[in-house]
Every structure is written in structure tokens, then in C-alpha cells.
Amino acid sequence: MKSSFIHKTVKKIAEFQVRNNYKKHWEDDINKYLSCTDKKSALTRFSEKRALQKYWGCVPFQYYRFGFYRKDCKLTVEEMKKYVPNFFAYFLFFPRIFTGYVQICRDKSLTHTYLSGLNIAQPVMLLKYHLKGFCTNENLPVADDSALEILSNCGAKKIFIKPNFGLGGKGIFVFSKTDSGYKTKDGKKLDKSFIKENLLTHSFVIQEGLKQHTDMDAIYSGSINTCRIITRVIDGKAEILFSMLRMGQKGSEVDNASQGGLYCKIDKESGQLGDFAYSNDRQKYFNHTDTNVEFAKTKVKQWDEINRFILKVATQCREIGMVGWDVALTETGPVIIEINEGPDIEIVQDLYGGIKDMMGIDNPGKWWNHDKFTTLYEN
């Protein structure tokens, strides 16, 4: 009992310490709240926020994200409680789901090794960059000149250089093949100068760009548009909980919402897209901004194939009970791009509403009272 109290206290201290980080993360949503001229009364807002904080045990920043403060919000407090706050999800819930397997998702080099061992389709890994030098998939050193020769002769139309521990599409370099070598959109050339200026202080993985299916190109061809699919495995049986299509727009070469992309719900049974997509600032779009594709009239025709693929993959990786997969559709079939330990529950809840019940969270209090607070333990 004493141990449980200590661990709960540690969690409470952690929640207090990260509040400023969350205030920054939710800054745009909080500013919308502050500038809103159609808010509920101060007493109602205070009462609702207090009830949510008491229920979840952490500051309810979701109150701002989902506009619970607005007069036109008709949700009851009980319905608001179904929206899972980020702190609870990422500090209490998912750590107990992932246990020691979390590093497989965080470390892209390790992800590649893990998926390779299970013979799961993924992008071709050309090289890795680690400890200020290139290396092969087998972690053997490669001289800079030899590495650049390997890259220049790979034949891929695009090369992606991704931070090994990056999130949200940040820090990714996309090189396209030109007559004078590989270059980024802003003119950076893949040469020794680029290595010296951009790679020395971090670890990266270097992958061949995929050629996505023409149906995905029709929606937006500037990026690889991926299906974010969240699965759960119970007693060896895999199921899809949530699915959405992520798309680039306006010249973006990545599909991450935080980098300007759009996200749209996919019906997990039929592959039919939802009526609209959101951008990261929660602007609603009924057509793609570049191609004018109408989401409500668009279906992922290969959804049955994607469905079978991801359920098999989830079963193969069943040590991780609940996880988010980024799946690209190529002409030869689905490919895993990344595994996500924390699959953007705020954008999931933008599209699905509160997901507490679907995640199997009955009593949030018990998650605070677990006697451990780390990712490295068994359930």
C-alpha cells in the first residue's frame, strides 16, 4: 500500500511538471478558448473542468481542444469524460501496454530490424547514420565516399533521411533524383557538405522512397499518403479499433498533420472515407485542397487487402497489445512505414469522438494506483 502511494505521488509530480509543456502544445486551442465570444458561463466552465480533472486526475487540456467550453457544445459531462487526455494516455496507459517493447517503436533502426526478422514489408533501408558515420543494416561502418556512392547509384526516385528518434515528421529530408544528383526542394544536394551541416549531431535512417498506388496519387501525389491504423490484440485475436487516411497538401512531401497534412476517417469495415478531413488547426475540408477529390465519394478500394495485411502484422507483433501502424499502399501491396507507441489520440478523437470505452479504460483511478511508473515492466 505504501509503495502504491509513493508511485501515485511520483505520477502526480510528473503531471504537474509537464503542464507547461502541454500548455505550449495546446497553445492554439487555448488561444481559441480565450478569444471565443460564445462561451458557456464561467461557473459552468469551472464546474465542467473540475469534474474532468477529478475524473482523469490531470489538467483537462482536452476541454480546449474539443471546444467543450462553447455554448453550442451539447455534450454532457459524462460524455466529455469519454475523451482521453494526453497525459493519461501517454504517461499511464500506453506505457503499461508497451512495457519493454516501446523501444521498438521509438528507434526506427530497431523497427527495421524487428520487422525484417518477421518478414514484414517495409521501405528499403539503404544506410544508417550513427555516431557521426554511415553504417550498413548490419551496423558495419561505411566510409562517407562509399556511402554517397551507394546512395547516388541506388536508382530510387526519392530518398528519405529520417531522424532515428523523430516524431511527427519533423527533421525529415526528402531528396529527389535529378540530372545533377539527389536534391531537396530547396536545393540542398546530397553530398559531403550536407552531411557536415545536417547529420553530425543526430542519428538517421536512410530509406528508398516508395512508389505509392495510383489511387493514392489521385488523392495527392506530393507525399506518400498513409493509413494510420490502430489495432488491439486480445488472447491472440487482432482487431482494428480506428483507422484514418493521412494526406499531404499544398506541396508538402510528408503526410503528418503537424507538418500541414490532412487526416480523414476511414470506415474500418468498408474503406469508405469520411465526409471531411481536418488539418492540424482543426479546419474542416470536404475536398482535398490540391486535387479537389471529394472525401465523401472516395473509397480505399484495396481496403480488404490492407485489412488482411494489418491484422496479420498485428498478430505477428502481438506482444504489443495496442499500437498504431502507418501503412502505405504501393502497386505491389501494403507496406509498414512506422510503428507508433502513441498514435495521436487527439486526432483520433477529432474523428471518432471520445475513445475511453473503445480503449478499454473503465476506471482511470486504477491507472494512477498501479505500483510502477515506467515502460520497462510486465503488466
CA distances from 284 to 277, 292, 343 (A): 6, 14, 21
Residue-level pLDDT at 372: 56
Q: How many CB atoms lie within 10 A of CB 130?
A: 17
Residue-level pLDDT at 98: 82
Mean per-residue pLDDT pooled into runs of 10, the chain (379 residues):
70 89 92 96 98 96 97 97 95 85 90 96 96 92 95 93 86 92 93 92 94 96 96 95 96 87 96 96 94 97 97 95 95 95 90 95 87 48
User: CA 209 from chain center: how many Å?
Assistant: 19
Residue-level pLDDT at 2: 54
Residue-level pLDDT at 379: 41
- Cβ atoms of residues 240 and 246 within 8 Å: no
Q: Where are the domains of the chain?
A: 2-81, 98-121+212-352, 125-208
User: CA 312 from chain center: how many Å?
Assistant: 20
First to last CA, the chain: 18
Could you tell me the pTM of the whole model?
A: 0.92
Residue-level pLDDT at 341: 84
Residue-level pLDDT at 367: 87
Q: What is the DSSP string of 100-141?
A: GGHHHHH-HHHHHHHHHHTT---PPEEEEEETTEEE-TT--E
Q: d(Cα 299, Cα 135) in Å, to the nearest integer?
A: 41
Give the CATH H-level superfamily of domain 98-121+212-352.
ATP-grasp fold, B domain (3.30.470.20)
Q: Find, among 105, 107, 92, the residue nearest to 18 by Cα.
A: 92
